[in-house]
């Protein structure tokens, strides 16, 4: 198989999955080698089906029905299958050739059979394979237009009863149930394709309702049923396009569906049906949307339906009314309205809504920061720079973070007011730093702000007075190694000491980096002779950590 190498398996899986795959070599069974594909069963937490093919990146692709594999990952089971195949070595080309010959031989034999012989063969298979028989029965009922038989079979296929343990379909059985639901979907599409779109439309609606009721009792971790729900909606749409149902009846169904629980599964957008509804159907849909929204102005489904029909009609005022009836306390809805008005070419109204959002927020610390950014941009564009500064100052006062400090600085610099604003902002941060308890990982914002300003000396003084976290001390030392080597050396030694008690390559890499900085500080101080005994003692004390010593050797330590 092209691309099947240990290096490619490792590259596709990643180091962790590759290493875990080594532990599953004895769990691979039933290896079936084809011309371009290899399949097998791998026994893990459950029994999984794995397949490798030569049509992916590096000439190799894989698929597995384990949870990790269903997310599109190259899993440990595929690694185990690949390594098992590689272990067969020289026999692999011979197996592929044999598989190709078997397939060609089977095709040639089938091609030589008469119609009666083929029918006899198929009847034998039907007698032995109940699932095959049921699938073919459904296809036959669909082909002859036997709607009662198709409906009965669709209901049977969507019944969770045969798979449910104590009323719930567990993950191990969910795939089999999803496969049956997929058969129902195929039958509906076949109805439309055979000229019975009206029947397919009716059955699709029933299938959506049944599947929505069933999905709550199925472990759909891999999303198969969710996809089938979306595909059912597409099948219904296709059937409606072909059948051209009464537009007013379709509008009533769409409104009821969007407002009902089944839409959680299918996620139907009524505007997708605009070409089928036409103006008569859209008129009814708008009327139903308005009635539903007036009855429940804060309902999610009611708002969604009203928003969609308002958007379809280009009715910005109706859309604004929907949003305004349920304003979020953090100002997000005000921002949505402002953007809609901007898009409609009504910037003055948009600005008023954005300003209203700021006024109506009780706690500016909880504001949707996108609203602050939006309003600040509008002030800047209108050359209302003092108002942008005021907005950023108020936001910084409520949420004193490095980001809000930077945003205040940018606004104040644009207005040529940064010096005064900076003193007030730093005073707030100093007060915060004095009140805060010291933390190893969460130092004062004051230190970050001073470093961001490039005021390293002030940052050193603040860190000495109020404390700093390890990240801040390291940044201070890195930025001061040339000008303040003695201070930087103290920091590096202090940070290195706890790392000497840790194990693992991540800790070793950090320690080696600090050792290089310590050596550099001694060089700037003119005391390289002091570094040699320090690192010698360290190597002696850490002699059991072979990876650490190897890393030190590689860096000349």
**Which of 70-74, 167-171, 202-206, 390-394 bottoms out in mean pLDDT, i.e. has the lowest?**
70-74
pLDDT value, residue 150: 87
* 101 DSSP assignment: H
C-alpha 254, offset from chain centre: 29
Residue in 406, 358, 403, 397 with CA at minimum distance from that of residue 379: 358
Q: Is residue 485 over pLDDT 60?
A: yes
Buried b or exposed e, range 321-346, using 16+ CB within 10 angstroms: ebbeeebeebbbbbbbbbebbbeeeb
Strand partners of residue 33 = 38
- Any idea how long the chain is? 557
> What is the pLDDT confidence band of residue 1, given thresholds at 50, 70 and 90?
low
**Do residues 265 and 212 make contact, with C-beta atoms less than 8 angstroms apart?**
yes
Which candidate, 306, 298, 373, places its Cα nearest to that of 328? 298
Phi then psi for residue 367, to 5 deg, are -70, 150
Give the residue from 414, 415, 470, 464 showing the smallest Cα distance to 442. Answer: 470
What's residue 439's pLDDT? 56
**Cα angle: 540, vertex 545, 548; to 5 degrees:** 95
**Closest among 369, 320, 329, 373 to 349, alpha carbons compared:** 320
**What is the DSSP code (8-state) at residue 168?**
B
pLDDT for position 130: 75
Sign of CA dihedral 324, 326, 330, 335: negative
Q: Considering only CA atoms, which of 415, 416, 363 is closest in space to residue 385?
A: 415
Is residue 266 within 8 Å of residue 301, measured between CB atoms? no
220-227 average pLDDT score: 84
Q: What is the pLDDT of residues 524-552, one digit of tens each?
A: 999 999 999 999 999 999 988 989 999 99
Helix (H) or strand (E) holding 211: helix 197-215
Angle CA 119–125–126, to nearest 5: 85
Domain boundaries, the chain: 6-112, 124-245, 384-469, 481-557
Residue 146: predicted pLDDT:
83
Average pLDDT over residues 500-509: 90
Joined tokens for residue 167: 């009323």
Distance CA 52, CA 77 (A): 10
Residue 91: what pLDDT?
A: 75
Task: Please give the radius of gyration of the chain, using alpha carbons only, rounded to the nearest integer.
Answer: 34
pLDDT of residue 98: 80
pLDDT, one tens digit per residue, over 92-139 is 777 778 877 887 888 899 899 899 888 888 888 888 877 778 778 778
| Three-class DSSP category at 525 | helix
Residue 438 confidence class, pLDDT cut points 50, 70, 90: low
Structure confidence by residue, pLDDT tens digits, 172-185: 788 888 888 998 99
Asked if residues 374 and 335 have their Cβ atoms less than 8 Å apart, the reply is yes
Residues 243 and 198: beta-carbon distance below 8 Å: yes
**Residue 330 clears pLDDT 60, i.e. is over it:** yes
Q: Please list the residues that pair with 29 across neighbouring strands.
A: 41
Mean pLDDT of the chain: 90
**Helix (H) or strand (E) run with residue 31 in it:** strand 28-33
Averaged pLDDT for residues 500-515:
92
Q: What separation in angstroms does the CA of 173 have from each of 160, 161, 165?
A: 10, 11, 10
DSSP designation for 261: T
Distance separating alpha carbons of residues 270 and 304, to the nearest angstrom: 10
Average pLDDT over residues 332-355: 94
CA 189 to chain centre: 30
Contact call for residues 350 and 374 (beta carbons, < 8 A): no
- In three-state secondary structure terms, 436 is coil
Find all residues with CB under 8 Å of 523, minimum gap 6, and list them.
none
Long-range contacts of 549-553, Cβ-Cβ distance < 8 Å, separation of 24 or more:
551/508, 551/509, 551/512, 552/512, 552/515
Tokens of 398: 């409520």
Confidence of residue 305 (pLDDT cuts 50, 70, 90): very high
Judged by DSSP in three states, 394 sits in helix
DSSP character at residue 165: B
Share of the chain above pLDDT 90, in %: 57
Report the distance separating Cα 276 and Cα 113, nearest Å.
Answer: 48
Distance in angstroms (rounded) separating the CA atoms of residues 375 and 407: 13
Poorest-confidence range of 53-57, 87-91, 245-249, 253-257?
53-57
Q: Which residues pair with 32 in a beta bridge?
A: 39
Q: Buried (b) or exposed (e) across 532-545, using 16+ Cβ within 10 A?
A: eeeeeebeeebeeb
In the β-sheet with 47-53, what is the strand arrangement from edge to edge? 28-33, 37-43, 47-53, 61-64
What's residue 440's pLDDT? Answer: 60
Q: Is the pLDDT of residue 403 over 80?
A: yes
């Amino acid at each position: 198989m092209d691309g099947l190498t240990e290096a490619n398996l490792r590259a596709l899986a990643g180091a962790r999955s590759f290493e875990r795959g080594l532990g599953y070599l004895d769990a691979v069974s039933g290896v079936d080698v084809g011309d371009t594909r290899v399949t097998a069963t791998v026994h893990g937490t459950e029994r999984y089906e794995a397949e490798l093919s030569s049509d992916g990146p590096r000439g190799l692709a894989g698929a597995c029905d384990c949870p990790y594999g269903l997310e599109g990952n190259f899993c440990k089971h595929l690694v185990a299958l690949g390594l098992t195949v590689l272990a067969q070595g020289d026999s692999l080309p011979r197996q592929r050739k044999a598989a190709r010959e078997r397939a060609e031989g089977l095709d040639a034999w089938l091609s030589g059979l008469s119609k009666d012989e083929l029918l006899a063969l198929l009847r034998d298979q039907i007698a032995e394979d109940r699932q095959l028989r049921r699938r073919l029965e459904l296809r036959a009922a669909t082909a002859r237009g036997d709607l009662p038989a198709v409906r009965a079979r669709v209901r049977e296929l969507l019944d969770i009863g045969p798979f449910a343990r104590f009323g719930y379909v567990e993950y191990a059985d969910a795939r089999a149930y999803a496969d049956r639901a997929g058969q129902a979907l195929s039958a509906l599409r076949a109805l439309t394709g055979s000229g019975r779109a009206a029947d397919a439309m009716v059955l699709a609606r029933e299938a959506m309702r049944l599947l929505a009721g069933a999905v709550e009792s199925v472990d759909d971790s891999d999303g198969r049923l969710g996809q089938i729900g979306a595909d059912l909606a597409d099948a219904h749409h296709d059937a409606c396009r072909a059948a051209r149902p009464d537009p007013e009846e379709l509008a009533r169904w769409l409104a009821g569906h969007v407002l009902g629980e089944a839409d959680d599964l299918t996620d139907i957008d009524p505007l997708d049906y605009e070409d089928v509804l036409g103006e008569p159907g859209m008129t009814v849909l708008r009327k139903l949307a308005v009635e539903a929204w007036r009855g429940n102005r804060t309902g999610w489904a009611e708002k969604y339906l009203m928003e969609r029909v308002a958007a379809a009609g280009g009715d910005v005022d109706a859309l604004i009314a929907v949003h305004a009836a349920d304003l979020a306390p953090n100002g997000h809805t005000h921002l949505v309205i402002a953007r809609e008005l901007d898009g409609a070419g009504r910037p003055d109204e948009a600005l008023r809504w954005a300003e209203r959002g700021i006024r109506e927020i009780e706690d500016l610390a909880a504001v949707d920061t996108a609203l602050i950014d939006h309003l600040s941009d509008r002030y800047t564009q209108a050359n209302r720079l003092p108002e942008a500064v005021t907005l950023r100052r108020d936001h910084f006062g409520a949420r004193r973070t490095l980001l809000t400090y930077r945003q205040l600085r940018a606004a104040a610099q644009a207005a040529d007011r940064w010096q005064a604003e900076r003193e007030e902002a730093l005073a707030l941060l100093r007060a915060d730093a004095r009140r805060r308890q010291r933390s190893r990982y969460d130092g004062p914002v004051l230190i970050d702000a001073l470093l961001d300003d490039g005021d390293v000396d002030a940052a050193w003084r603040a860190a000495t007075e109020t404390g700093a976290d390890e990240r801040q001390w390291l940044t201070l030392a890195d930025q001061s190694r040339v000008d303040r080597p003695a201070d930087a050396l103290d920091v590096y030694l202090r940070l290195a000491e706890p790392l000497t008690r840790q194990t693992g390559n991540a800790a070793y890499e950090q320690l080696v980096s600090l050792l290089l900085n310590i050596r550099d500080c001694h060089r700037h101080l003119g005391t390289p002779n002091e570094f040699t005994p320090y690192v010698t003692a360290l190597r002696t004390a850490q002699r059991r950590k072979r990876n650490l010593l190897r890393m030190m050797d590689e860096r000349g330590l």
